[in-house]
Amino acid sequence: MSTVSTLVVVPAYNEEASVAEVVTRVRAAGFPVLVVDDGSSDLTAGTAATAGATVMQLPVNLGVGAAMRAGFRYAVAQGYRQVVQVDGDLQHPPEAIPILIAAADGGAQLVVGSRFSEGYTVSGYRRLAMATVAAVVSRMVGVTLDDVTSGFRVISQPLLGRFADEYPAEYLGDTVEALLQAHATGASIAQVPVPMEPRSVGDSTSRLAASGHLARLAVAVVAGKPKEMAK
């Protein structure tokens, strides 16, 4: 798909230290970029704008899901046919965007970039919870996935329009529940290996808190309650 029909959306919360580099690298790769500033208390918005991004500012911190929904609605209103989600913390190398788009060009409406296929490791209970969720979700959607919480992904029409209307906003719902919603609409899903770096800057949920969320998520998915899994 042409870059003129593809918008890169970067949900960002207190990413002042890294968002300019993300924007610069996305633009160097040939893509327009929208930074959705999710109620940051630092200079994320101004830094992103100076680097060349279009910036949408949310009045308060609503979470990645809500930020992405705002980005999807902007993309649809502006006539884009495809959105690439890229984090603002330098985990997702913009140079790998064409890998995701190539898979989308093959017909998948939702393409997930898997960090594990390229040697990224997560230890302890968090990895166990992630593997459990991935195994269950893979069975539910009929596609083998090993990184269902990855936020490095591509969403194309007509799924893009559906996500603009309704997209889960709760923690982890924007990744895992989005896969289940996509499957429920009949959208095709694919996964491709991508390089990914550990988060080094910006605000993030603590490892302990993330592990707790994932453990509850694993139990909820196994119990077959996708609508409640991130509460």
pLDDT value of residue 222: 53
Q: Mean pLDDT across the stretch 152-166?
A: 97
pLDDT value of residue 125: 72
What is the pLDDT confidence band of residue 133, given thresholds at 50, 70 and 90? confident
As for how many domains the chain has, the answer is 1
CA torsion sign, 192 to 197 to 200 to 201? negative
Count of alpha carbons within 13 angstroms of residue 18, beta-carbon side = 20
Taking the mean position of all CA atoms in its chain, how far away is CA 183? 17
Q: How far is 156 from 2, CA to CA, in rounded Å? A: 12
Q: How far is 170 from 47, CA to CA, in rounded Å? A: 27
pLDDT value of residue 198: 67
Digit-coded pLDDT (tens) for 21-50:
999 999 999 999 999 999 999 999 999 999
Domain range enclosing 182: 3-228
Q: Mean pLDDT across the stretch 132-142?
A: 91
Contact criterion met (CB below 8 Å) for 72 and 160? yes
CATH of the domain at 29: 3.90.550.10
Q: Please state the pTM of the whole predicted model.
A: 0.86
Count of alpha carbons within 13 angstroms of residue 142, beta-carbon side = 7
Provide the edge-to-edge strand list for the sheet that holds 110-114: 54-58, 33-38, 6-12, 82-85, 153-156, 110-114, 189-193
Specify the residue for token string 């902007």: 74
Digit-coded pLDDT (tens) for 170-228:
767 788 889 999 999 999 999 999 998 766 554 433 343 444 455 555 555 555 544 43
Taking the mean position of all CA atoms in its chain, how far away is CA 95? 16
